[in-house]
């Protein structure tokens, strides 16, 4: 089992390393968490519902404002080099590698008319990268909240999330939905964030895992298959095509009660089985989010488990974005006593989230590790997630 650093150690190290790199103290420290999405996968670009939880793992940014228009970026998880950029010259596609994420945030702020300039930035994140736990959004959001404070922009959490998403979409060139950034800025400790991705309306849903004798176990398969990017674009295009055929703005507009008639209509219109299955996933997944919220609000946390497992089956069979490793992790977790489990994140690898009885953490993690060893896969990484706070200033 791995654990996140204590917040104090992480913050202290980030400040110390900033000073070592830039020869001066930072103006402040900001943190933005990664997230695990409890349920609501591939719904955020269909104007649908999601239910993420902030992880204790976060990107911490130590930042010192500069007034000469130079943006210097360094990451403890990068290649060691300091990247120096001229903020006035930032253009989409013009920055390669990890630095495009923080630089994109500065670009997006300026594009939106905010008069921000350069800074020295040092990042230190304990969010696993590329594990479906949203290290990219936490990196963006840490920089966004720092800039919001240092330039006294007065932007709210949702506004910062939308700007961070714009950075990732338009500057880095990744066509992600808005869930990750909203989770990173808007989540609160002790709860999950129910987000309607159409209008960004949100509600905190209590998630008292300890009170219910449960734990949220995250199992990072540590694999990411190459087809992820192409498959994401293909699924997304398929959803848009289906919405167009059905004459709705987005698949979110197909009510669960009308799913069968929508599928029949698509068949009459010549849509193939694969396209119809995409619709079935999105519509049933939105319904599962609402079902889970109902169960959480009724305090029936154990009953959430089977809904998670049903969500996984839908991602595996209808949306077809799981893979052998996540399927095995889900099956082994449930077999070893998890109440339910599902892949979380975009798919083709990444992580699985499992709801387990409090004394089931070690046996379930061990069973998944054994199943991986038996299948010849590398060892997965396991940790428990206690719902944490969204992006904030630390010092």
Site residues (CB under 5 A) for Mg ion? Answer: 136
Nearest to Mg ion of 136, 309 (CB atom): 136
* 14, 43, 46, 134: which one binds ligand ADP (CB under 6 A): 134
CB of 130 to ligand ADP, least distance (A): 4
Rounded Cα–Cα distance for residues 135 and 141 (Å): 10
What is the β-pairing status of strands 119-125 and 70-75? parallel
Q: Is 83 helix (H, G, I), strand (E, B) or coil?
A: strand
Report how many helices (DSSP H) and strands (DSSP E) the chain contains, helices first: 11, 13
Which one of ligand ADP, Mg ion, none interacts with residue 98, CB within 5 to 8 A by kind?
ligand ADP
* Angle 45-47-48 from CA coordinates, rounded to 5°: 100
Which one of ligand ADP, Mg ion, none interacts with residue 234, CB within 5 to 8 A by kind?
none
Residue 320, sorted as left (phi over 0), alpha (psi -120 to 50) or beta, turns out to be left
Answer yes or no: are the C-beta atoms of 30 and 394 closer than 8 Å.
Answer: yes
CB of 28 to ligand ADP, least distance (A): 18
Query: Does 341 sit near ligand ADP (CB under 6 A)?
Result: no
Which one of ligand ADP, Mg ion, none interacts with residue 75, CB within 5 to 8 A by kind?
ligand ADP
* 18, 22, 30, 98: which one binds ligand ADP (CB under 6 A): 98
Query: Does 132 sit near ligand ADP (CB under 6 A)?
Result: yes
Query: Does 191 sit near ligand ADP (CB under 6 A)?
Result: no
Which pair of structure tokens corresponds to residue 172?
A: 């880095």
Nearest to ligand ADP of 60, 243 (CB atom): 60
Write out the H or E segment, with its range, that includes residue 372.
Answer: helix 361-375
Rounded Cα–Cα distance for residues 34 and 55 (Å): 5
Rounded Cα–Cα distance for residues 236 and 271 (Å): 15
Sheet containing strand 392-393, edge to edge, reads 83-86, 70-75, 119-125, 52-65, 28-37, 392-393
Nearest to Mg ion of 135, 291 (CB atom): 135
Which one of ligand ADP, Mg ion, none interacts with residue 129, CB within 5 to 8 A by kind?
ligand ADP
Write out the H or E segment, with its range, that includes residue 196.
Answer: strand 191-196
| Short-list 126, 132, 138, 22, CA closest to 82 | 22
CA atoms within 13 A on the CB side of 286: 24
Query: Does 123 sit near ligand ADP (CB under 6 A)?
Result: yes
Which one of ligand ADP, Mg ion, none interacts with residue 123, CB within 5 to 8 A by kind?
ligand ADP
Query: Does 171 sit near ligand ADP (CB under 6 A)?
Result: no
CA 364 to chain centre: 23
Nearest to ligand ADP of 130, 294 (CB atom): 130
Query: Does 125 sit near ligand ADP (CB under 6 A)?
Result: yes
CB of 311 to ligand ADP, least distance (A): 18
Query: Does 101 sit near ligand ADP (CB under 6 A)?
Result: yes
Q: Which residue has the tokens 């999330």?
A: 161
Range in contact with ligand ADP (rule: CB under 6 A) among 13-21, 47-55, 128-136, 150-158: 128-136
Exactly one of 44, 47, 126, 180 is catalytic; name it.
180
Nearest to ligand ADP of 108, 131 (CB atom): 131
Nearest to ligand ADP of 186, 336 (CB atom): 186
Query: Does 59 sit near ligand ADP (CB under 6 A)?
Result: yes
Rounded Cα–Cα distance for residues 75 and 246 (Å): 46
Other beta carbons within 10 angstroms of residue 255's beta carbon come to 12
Q: Does the annotation mark 180 as catalytic? A: yes
Which one of ligand ADP, Mg ion, none interacts with residue 101, CB within 5 to 8 A by kind?
ligand ADP
DSSP state of 348: S
Answer yes or no: are the C-beta atoms of 252 and 198 closer than 8 Å.
Answer: yes
Question: How many residues touch ligand ADP (CB under 6 A)?
Answer: 18
Name the site residues for ligand ADP (rule: CB under 6 A): 59, 75, 77-78, 98, 101, 123, 125, 129-136, 139, 345
Supply the residues annotated as catalytic: 180
């Amino acid at each position: 089992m791995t654990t996140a650093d204590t917040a104090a150690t992480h913050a202290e190290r980030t400040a110390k390393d900033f000073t070592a790199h830039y020869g001066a103290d930072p103006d402040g420290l900001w943190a933005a968490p990664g997230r695990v999405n409890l349920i609501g996968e591939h719904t955020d670009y269909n104007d649908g519902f999601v239910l993420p939880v902030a992880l204790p793992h976060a990107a911490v940014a130590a930042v010192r404002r500069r007034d000469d228009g130079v943006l210097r970026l360094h990451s403890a998880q990068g290649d060691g080099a300091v990247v120096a950029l001229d903020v006035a010259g930032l253009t989409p596609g013009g920055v390669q590698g990890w630095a495009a994420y923080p630089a994109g945030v500065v670009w997006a702020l300026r594009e939106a008319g905010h008069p921000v300039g350069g800074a020295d930035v040092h990042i230190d994140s304990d969010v696993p990268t590329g594990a479906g736990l949203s290290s990219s959004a936490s990196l963006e959001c840490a920089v966004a909240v720092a800039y919001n404070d240092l330039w006294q922009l007065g932007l709210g959490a949702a506004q910062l999330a939308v700007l961070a998403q714009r950075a990732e979409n338009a500057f880095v060139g990744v066509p992600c939905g808005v869930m990750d950034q909203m989770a990173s800025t808007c989540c609160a400790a002790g709860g999950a964030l129910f987000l309607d991705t159409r209008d960004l309306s949100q509600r905190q849903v209590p998630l008292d895992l300890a009170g219910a004798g449960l734990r949220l176990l995250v199992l990072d398969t540590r694999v990411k298959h190459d087809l992820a990017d192409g498959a994401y674009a293909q699924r997304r295009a398929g959803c848009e095509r289906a919405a167009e055929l059905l004459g709705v703005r987005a698949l979110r507009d197909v009510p669960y009660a009308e799913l069968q008639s929508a599928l029949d209509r698509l068949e009459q219109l010549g849509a193939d089985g694969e396209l119809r299955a995409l619709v079935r996933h999105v519509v049933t997944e939105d319904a599962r989010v609402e079902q889970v919220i109902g169960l959480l609000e009724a305090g029936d946390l154990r009953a959430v488990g089977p809904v998670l497992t049903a969500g996984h089956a839908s991602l595996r069979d209808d949306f077809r974005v799981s893979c052998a490793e996540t399927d095995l992790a889900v099956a082994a977790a449930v077999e070893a006593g998890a109440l339910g489990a599902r892949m979380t994140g975009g798919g083709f690898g990444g992580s699985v989230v499992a709801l387990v009885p409090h004394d089931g953490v070690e046996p379930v993690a061990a069973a998944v590790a054994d199943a991986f060893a038996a299948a010849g896969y590398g060892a997965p990484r396991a940790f428990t997630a206690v719902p944490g706070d969204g992006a904030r200033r630390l010092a």
